[in-house]
Amino acid sequence: MKIVITGGAGFIGGNFVHYMIKAHPEYEIIVLDKLTYAGNLETLASVMDKIKFVKDDIADRNAVFKLFEEEKPDVVVNFAAESHVDRSIEDPGIFLKTNVIGTQTLMDACREYGIRRYHQVSTDEVYGDLPLDRPDLFFTEETPLHTSSPYSASKASADLLVQAYYRTYNLPVTISRCSNNYGPYHFPEKLIPLMIANALADKPLPVYGKGENVRDWLYVEDHCKAIDLIIHKGKVGEVYNIGGHNEMRNIDIVKLICRELGKPESLITYVTDRKGHDLRYAINPEKIHNELGWLPETTFENGIKKTIEWYLNNRSWWEPIISGEYMDYYEKMYGNR
Ligand code: NAD
Ligand code: DAU
C-alpha cells in the first residue's frame, strides 16, 4: 500500500505520519508538503528514513501530476491546508488557492492516474456555529453547511468539490469533519500551544472577547485513529463527523493551563474579539461510532497533561518557531488588540 499524506509536516498530518508508521509499518508513505510557515521538518526528523518527503505545493498541477505519474499511490489523505482562522480574516486569497484549488488539483491527479481512496480532512467549522444556550444541539453529517470565516468557507468549498467529484466522476472519496484537535507538534499560533508558550514566558494570555466561546476538543491521536479507520473501512462517498463530546469554554482552558503550570490567572488579558467569532462547536459522533466502532481513547484530563508535558520537554521544537517571522505575526495580531 502506497499512501500520499499531504500536509504531513503540519500538526495533524505530522501526528498521522507517526501514527501510520506504527500502525502499518509495511506501508510506503510519501509526504507532500509545501513547508509553509506552518510546516516543520523537525516534526518528521525521527522518521525521515521511513518515509519519502517531497517539498511541493498541492496547487501546483505540474508538480502534483509528476509525483502521481512516478508514484501511482493507492491512497491520498489530504491534510494540506491553510488552517488558521485569524490569518484567513487578514488575507483570504491563499486559503482559496491551497484549500480549494489544491484539493481540485489532487483529485484531478487521482482521476488521471487512478486511486483506491481519496480522503479529504475537513473540519466541523463547515457547519458554522451553534448557540451557547442550546446544549441539546450538535452537528450531524446532515447539518447544512453554513460558514463564518474565509477559512471555513474555503474548507466547505473543497468539501462540495469532493462530493461533486464522487457524483460526477465516481472518484472513490471519503470526507471527515473533526472538531478542535490538541496535542504534540501544534503550531503555537493556536489557542492551547499559544497559551502554554506565553504562560511559560510570563507573557499576557490574550483571550478573545469574554472567553465564553466553546470548542469541542479531541486529542490528536484519536483523530488519527479515526482517519485510519475511515480510509480502510469507511464507505465511499460518505462524510464522517469526528468528536469526543468534550466541550469547553476558552476561558476554562486558559485557567486550567495556568493551574497546571503554576502561573497566576492575572496573566489573562481580555482582548478584542475575533471578527465573526463562532460561538460553539459540538460534534455528534454517532455515525463513526455505530458504523466503524470508533471511540476516543484519551480523556481531556490526561490529554492536556500529556500535551503540556510535551511542550515542557520539547522546547527545541517550538522555541525557534516563536522567534523571527512569528514575532512579526504576533505583533500584527496582538500588538494593538
Ligand atoms: P497546520 O497548519 O498545522 O499544517 C498544515 C500543513 O500543510 C503544513 O505542514 C503546511 O506546510 C502544509 N501546506 C500548506 N499549504 C500547502 C500547500 N499549498 N501545498 C502543500 N502543503 C501545504 O494544519 P493542521 O492543524 O494540522 O490541520 C490539518 C488539516 O486538518 C487541515 O486541512 C485542517 O483544515 C484540518 N483540521 C484541523 C483541525 C485542528 O484543530 N487543527 C481540526 C479539524 C480539521
Ligand atoms: O474546529 C476545528 C478547527 O479548529 C480547525 O478547522 C482549525 O484549523 C483550527 O485552527 C481550529 O480553529 P479555531 O478557530 O477553533 O482554533 P483556535 O486555536 O484559533 O482558537 C480556539 C478558540 O480560542 C477560538 O474560540 C478563538 C480563541 N482564541 C484563539 C487564540 C489564538 C483566543 O481566545 N485567543 C487566542 O489567542
The 3-class secondary structure across the chain, one letter per residue, is CEEEEECCCCHHHHHHHHHHHHHCCCCEEEEEECCCCCCCHHHHHHHHHHEEEEECCCCCHHHHHHHHHHHCCCEEEECCCCCCHHHHHHCCHHHHHHHHHHHHHHHHHHHHHCCCEEEEEEEHHHHCCECCCCCCCCECCCCCCCCCCHHHHHHHHHHHHHHHHHHHHCCCEEEEEECCEECCCCCCCCHHHHHHHHHHCCCCEEEECCCCCEEECEEHHHHHHHHHHHHHHCCCCCEEEECCCCEEEHHHHHHHHHHHHCCCHHHEEEECCCCCCCCECCECCHHHHHHHCCCCCCCHHHHHHHHHHHHHHCHHHHCCCCCCHHHHHHHHHHCCC
pLDDT the model gives residue 323? 84
147-173 tens-digit pLDDT: 999 999 999 999 999 999 999 999 999
Q: Where in the sequence is the domain holding 83, given as residue range(s)?
A: 2-181+219-242
Catalytic residue among 57, 124, 189, 221: 124
194 belongs to a structural domain: no
Ligand 1 pocket, Cβ-based, cut-off 6 angstroms:
6-7, 9-13, 33-36, 38-39, 57-59, 79-83, 98, 102, 121, 123, 155, 178, 180-181, 187
159 belongs to a structural domain: yes
Question: Quick check: pTM over 0.85?
Answer: yes
- The rounded Å distance from CA 121 to ligand 1 centre is 9
Report which bound ligand comes closest to the CA of 120: 1
223 belongs to a structural domain: yes
211 belongs to a structural domain: no
pLDDT band at 325 (very low <50, low <70, confident <90, very high): confident
- CATH code assigned at 173: 3.40.50.720
pLDDT band at 337 (very low <50, low <70, confident <90, very high): confident
176 belongs to a structural domain: yes
pLDDT band at 196 (very low <50, low <70, confident <90, very high): very high
The preferred substitution site among 132, 191, 256 for testing ligand 2, maximizing ligand atoms within 8 Å of CB, is 191
44-88 tens-digit pLDDT: 999 999 999 999 999 999 999 999 999 999 999 999 999 999 999
13 belongs to a structural domain: yes
235 belongs to a structural domain: yes
140 belongs to a structural domain: yes
Please count the structural domains in the chain: 1
